[in-house]
Amino acid sequence: MDYFEYRDGELWAEGVRVKELAERFGTPLYVYSKRTLTRHYHAFDTALGELDHLTCFSVKANGNVSLLRLLGGLGAGVDIVSGGELHRALTAGIDPRKIVFSGVGKQEHEIRDALKADILMFNVESAQELKHIGRIAAEMNTPARISIRINPDVDPKTHPYISTGLKKNKFGLDMLEAAGAYLLAKEAPFVEPVGMDCHIGSQLTQIDPFVEALKKLLAFADRLQFSGVDIRYLDLGGGLGITYNEEAPPLPADLGQAIVDSLAGRTLTVILEPGRAIAGNAGILVTQVLYTKKSSAKNFVIVDAAMNDLVRPSLYGAYHRIGEVTPKYREKIVVDVVGPICESSDFLAQDRRLPAVEPGEHLAVFSAGAYGFTMSSQYNARPRAAEVIVDGDQTTQARRRETYADLIALEI
Ligand code: LLP
């Protein structure tokens, strides 16, 4: 549920008319709703009931500093995958003891920065990485708390590019390798194995794969205890899907209940790393129609947002609902909504039934708050879009639109 809705014949972001935002800030424009973000964060934070837990928003979904500050203010921690994301999180005032660091390719300078910041833990994805962290921690005379990321070999039943918990994926260690890594960690003087981690994929629309992975992890944690490794944190990653079109994913409360049921009688702190489920439907991308044209095969609506602004349709064939900002009653036609970029893969929608819109009108691309701006680029020398956050009837600019000067600022 979100707070972008049609009232009085036009689209509103909370208490602000989207048309007014488009006119004030220009397009393409990312618009986020504070009330929606807050609601989604609380849905996770209350999902686990009495269980000790930490909700670590996944920065890769949306790393805007204002948005992170807002979530941090609600009590959120974050899941990071790079030194750059650590920098964003610390700048936003996120409590370092609520930061978990995932990713298969952590570099020495990133590990040092994270140890210096005293983050909660590293989610370690290989034996080599473990040794590397152990060596750096010893050099810095700073203990490194770690989890081993387990690859539970569970099919998340989602898009192959965003499946991560299958044997053939690059992520984590299988249980046999993980057992060896825990023993290694136990012996390493500056490494504290405190947790167990997994993340099986993204945009999951069923509970079963989560439960299957969780059961495997718990059985493994029990076996580890015999070897003297006592796990305190269980990090189940992110991955809960959202409704882009007609999907009906489980609610955070459903996932929470399944976790509570599976953990009965255990004293573990559960960490979740939701990204999409918090930010996805809390953001829209507003664009203006530039031209329309009709070929013998297709109708095209050419807009000022492109694959450099929102790459998900091009990259994953993802569906994003598109609606008029100020709807008018008129005939619907089947169109491709495309951007100005010189690639045939530059589309926001294909074969979509939409009202026959005209140049100058604004359209909203929904569910764009996660993996929208963060995956944007300057391809075709297009300055990146601006971002604003709406709170009731107030709007704050969270990032200004890039300029031509920004495009070449780093070139010598
Ligand atoms: N934790 C880890 C270790 C992850 O790799 C991810 C996402 C998350 C948490 C957050 O997952 P979420 O709750 O957002 O599903 N660009 C793709 C999604 C890639 C997800 C990568 N990992 C897309 O636009 O669909």
Q: Check if 102 has its Cβ closer than 6 Å to any atom of ligand 1.
A: yes
Ligand 1 center to 155 CA (angstroms): 15
Determine how many CB atoms are found less than 10 A away from the CB of residue 360.
8
DSSP helix/strand/coil, 89:
helix
CATH of the domain at 74: 3.20.20.10
Q: Are strands 10-13 and 16-17 parallel, antiparallel or unpaired?
A: antiparallel
Residue 241 CA, closest ligand 1 atom number: 15
Same structural domain, 176 and 264: yes
State mean pLDDT over 306-316.
Answer: 98
Number of domains composing the chain:
2
Same structural domain, 284 and 207: no
User: Which of 261, 279, 297 marks a domain boundary?
Assistant: 279
**Res 227: pLDDT:** 87
Find the catalytic residue in 248, 342, 381, 405.
Answer: 342
State mean pLDDT over 336-342.
Answer: 98
**Res 165: pLDDT:** 67
pTM, 2 dp:
0.97
Backbone angles phi, psi at 16, to 5 degrees: -125, 135
Same structural domain, 303 and 247: no
Same structural domain, 263 and 341: no
Amino acid sitting at position 173: L
CATH of the domain at 344: 2.40.37.10
Report d(CA 253, CA 271) in Å as an integer: 15
User: Which of 279, 302, 337 marks a domain boundary?
Assistant: 279
Same structural domain, 64 and 167: yes
Same structural domain, 226 and 340: no
State mean pLDDT over 58-64.
Answer: 98
Same structural domain, 104 and 159: yes
Ligand 1 center to 337 CA (angstroms): 26
Cβ within 8 Å of residue 160, ≥6 positions away: none
Closest among 289, 293, 299, 296 to 357, alpha carbons compared = 289
Same structural domain, 191 and 87: yes
Report d(CA 367, CA 322) in Å as an integer: 9
Backbone angles phi, psi at 220, to 5 degrees: -70, -40
Q: Check if 166 has its Cβ closer than 6 Å to any atom of ligand 1.
A: no
342 catalytic? Reply is yes
Question: To test ligand 1's pocket by mutation, which of 56, 58, 80, 104 has the most ligand atoms within 8 angstroms of CB?
Answer: 58
State mean pLDDT over 173-177.
Answer: 92
Residue 338 has pLDDT above 80, yes or no: yes
Q: Where are the alpha helices (DSSP H) in 51-152?
A: 65-74, 83-91, 108-117, 127-140
pLDDT for 258-302, tens place per residue? 999 999 889 999 999 999 999 999 999 999 999 999 999 999 999
Q: Looking at residue 249, what DSSP letter applies?
A: P
Among 48-57, 62-71, 170-179, 387-396, the least confident range: 170-179
Q: Check if 275 has its Cβ closer than 6 Å to any atom of ligand 1.
A: yes
Residue 134 has pLDDT above 70, yes or no: yes
pLDDT for 212-260, tens place per residue? 999 999 999 999 998 899 999 999 999 999 999 999 999 999 999 999 9
Same structural domain, 83 and 214: yes
Same structural domain, 42 and 9: no
**Res 14: pLDDT:** 98
Q: 258-266: long-range contacts at Cβ-Cβ below 8 A with a sequence spacing of 24 or more?
A: 258/207, 258/210, 258/211, 258/214, 259/47, 259/48, 259/51, 259/210, 259/214, 260/48, 260/49, 260/51, 262/211, 262/214, 262/215, 262/218, 263/51, 263/218, 263/234, 266/218
Ligand 1 center to 275 CA (angstroms): 6
Same structural domain, 242 and 321: no
Provide the residue range defining the domain that includes 58.
Answer: 35-279
Contact (Cβ atoms closer than 8 angstroms) between residue 39 and residue 256: no
Residue 31 has pLDDT above 90, yes or no: yes
Same structural domain, 297 and 165: no
User: Which of 279, 312, 347 marks a domain boundary?
Assistant: 279
pLDDT for 8-29, tens place per residue? 999 999 999 999 999 999 999 9
pLDDT for 65-113, tens place per residue? 999 999 999 999 999 999 999 999 999 999 999 999 999 999 999 999 9
pLDDT for 351-374, tens place per residue? 999 999 999 999 999 999 999 999
